[in-house]
Structure 1
Amino acid sequence: MLSAILISLAVVFVAELGDKSQLITMTYALRHRWWVVLSGVGVAAMLVHGLSVAIGHFLGLTLPDRPIAFAGAVAFLLFAVWTWREGRSGGEEDVRVAEPRFVVLAIISSFLLAELGDKTMLATVTLASDHHWAGVWIGATAGMVLADGAAIAAGVLLHKRLPERFLHSLASLLFLLFGLWLLFDSALGLRWVALAVTGSVALAAAVAAVGSARRRRRAAVDVDTQESPLESSARSIDRSPGY
């Protein structure tokens, strides 16, 4: 059992590095408290790897990939709209984090939909067929929580250094990209279309962000250089012959 824990922890930890679940975790950590995100990740990891162990050790079944991917794509597109509307609902100081109970449910559901049929789940299924099922479950859950914990730390660091409205826009964009990729690549099997669509959306967002930053900088410069009426009157008096 100990060997199953160590092997599963190492395999899942390495498999999660750079995976979409890490990006999803960081996206949630940009907007919500770290302990809320970590709680949702822990519950989702227990559920998804428990299902993997059951499939690999007890059932020997396979999951329908495309219906699950389509459901995940729809969920992420809805998350993108929800996050965008939440960020645009008020001014910079009016943006509020959603209630933790709803956030945890959103994290769990998005992780389940993202991980079903993913390489991490397939690795857990394979390990459970040859090793102690309880050890695989414990090790895989711990590996996923550790890997996604690093993503939470990155999200918390960015949250401290970037403005709230920008973080909401970034989170919305990431959810949109996740949804489009799942829709075109996993659900429809169109890898090149997925690359083209997500790349175009990311490029358009980057161009829009650069243009918005330049406009704000130009507006700030105009405000700084604009002369008030009192300053103009004082300058004209100083230039008059009597003074």
Structure 2
Amino acid sequence: MEAFLVSTGIVTLAEMGDKTQLLALILAVRFRKPWPIVLGILVATLANHALAGAVGTWVTTVLGPDVLRWVLGASFIAMAVWMLIPDKMDDEGETGQPPRLGVFGTTLVAFFLAEMGDKTQIATVMLAAQYHAYVWVVAGTTLGMMLANAPVVWLGERMTRRVPIRLVHLISAGIFAVLGGLTLLGWG
């Protein structure tokens, strides 16, 4: 249960102001069809985080416990630093044409690709390696993504104006730094 709760909390915080949250806002404003967008986010996140969790689980079979502890500790600290760098969404050309894959398909592909190498995907790898609880980590990180992105789809810009993104990034950076320090000290 700890793996689930920590994974949910970390990813929810890490996702605030992330490029995929900005992507959710762009899709919501462009298509104005929240259900297929939210479903696309869910399926893309499950697929992406299942893959990331599998990589995290595999890493534990390749690295010894001492090396794994140092790699994970350093990775959590690196993630803390990365959290302090705000994400920006690249402007893509707007063609005005309806999406070829439909709203669900467009969201699915866009979210899956946007998550590749993203903070939350890397966090999922690290958490799966840390907790040895693949299902709970993937379930928690997926729930965290949904908690951060689904409200953006429905509430859109109103929500992003009220949430102090910088404060959320500082808190999540602090959590990652504490996890990194505790891991390096051999706690947990």
The answer to whether the superposition gives a TM-score over 0.5 is yes
1:17 matched residue in structure 2: 16
2:25 matched residue in structure 1: 26
1:148 matched residue in structure 2: 149
TM-score, normalising length: structure 1: 0.48
Based on CA coordinates, which of the two structures has the bigger radius of gyration? 1
Does the 8 A contact of 2:59 with 2:129 survive in 1?
no
Identity of aligned residues (%): 33
AA in 2 matched with 1:117: G
1:49 matched residue in structure 2: 49
What RMSD over aligned residues (CA atoms) do the two structures have, in Å? 2.4
Residues 40 and 156 (structure 1), Cα distance of their counterparts in 2 relative to 1, 3 Å cut: farther
Structure scoring higher RCO (CA < 8 A, sep ≥ 6) equals 2
Residues 43 and 52 (structure 1), Cα distance of their counterparts in 2 relative to 1, 3 Å cut: same
**Unpaired stretches in structure 2, ≥5 consecutive residues:** 63-89, 160-188
- Counterpart Cα distance in 2 of 1:121 and 1:111: 12
TM-score, normalising length: structure 2: 0.62
In proportion to residue count, which structure has more helix? 1
Counterparts of residues 187-226 of structure 1 (less than 5 Å): none
- Counterpart Cα distance in 1 of 2:96 and 2:134: 43
Find runs of 4+ consecutive structure 1 residues off by over 2 angstroms: 58-61, 83-86, 153-158
Aligned pair count? 129
Give SS of 1:84's match. Answer: coil
- Counterpart Cα distance in 2 of 1:124 and 1:156: 27
Counterparts of residues 1-243 of structure 1 (less than 5 Å): 2-32=1-31, 33-58=33-58, 80-81=92-93, 83-86=94-97, 102-131=102-131, 132-155=133-156
